[in-house]
Structure 1
Amino acid sequence: MAISLRKARTIIRKALEKGRELDLKPLSVVVLDAGGHVQAFEREDGASPGRFQIAHGKAHGAVMFGAPSSVIGEIAKERPHFGAALSGVYGGQIVPVPGGVLIKDKKGAIIGAVGVTGDTSENDAAAALAGIEAAGLVGVV
């Protein structure tokens, strides 16, 4: 199963709605497919222009490594040399903090990832998860 543009837009819309519900700072949300390709991206008014790279780094690390960005962050803390090597392997395109959430289908297959940035990392992850669940998919934080 691939992430359709319709599902990607639902994830983004619902993640942004969750951000407004929680009164978060302006968010930026990217949805990647299982190959790490951008399916959709939106940046709320007031979000800084560099947020695409941060959101992308969270999601890219998650989908390429097969684990949420929060897990990558814990690995990097425990084994800094491995964390640095991962960053090098993926051309520096990993942001190892919460907010990069894996997307699985109902059968458990990884079909992509969402990256959210703009507020605290934990709030970013909560917004991502809300978007994924609203699209009828399973998020792994």
Structure 2
Amino acid sequence: MTERKPPGVDFETFVDRQIREAAARGDFEGLPGYGKPLASLDAPYDELWWVKGKLHREGFAVLPPALALRKEAEDALVKALAARSERQVRAILTEVNEKIRAALRRPPPGPPLNLTEFDVEAVLRTWRERGDRAAGRAGTGAGPA
């Protein structure tokens, strides 16, 4: 691509020739996505497509801090109820409660937080009840007749 377009040659012809020669040399075969359809071909045009792609690849959250904490609290509750031990439940809830406590002391920018700390003992009661029901279901029909 370092050569210049010769005078009198149509620009489109010049570019097409360079692409054809590069394809013949195999310059395009090692590229990521070679032979695969374009992922965003049917999507509507978005001027910030590259910014959103970069944020997604880098793992940045696009939610305001208050909404991100709400989502994290929801995920923590689900994770706590699916935990295998009481120690894990307490660890998960303690970690998210510290973040909630900090956000309540100094509210983050954005929409209202609308969160309170989790009652660890109440969640543990729910966790134990779910465990008892699961053990009861596993115990029914299992074992010698």
Same fold (TM over 0.5): no
TM-score, normalised by the number of residues in structure 2: 0.22
Greater length-normalized contact order (CA 8 Å, ≥ 6 residues apart): 1
Larger Rg: 2
Tell me which protein shows more strand as a share of its residues: 1
TM-score, normalised by the number of residues in structure 1: 0.22
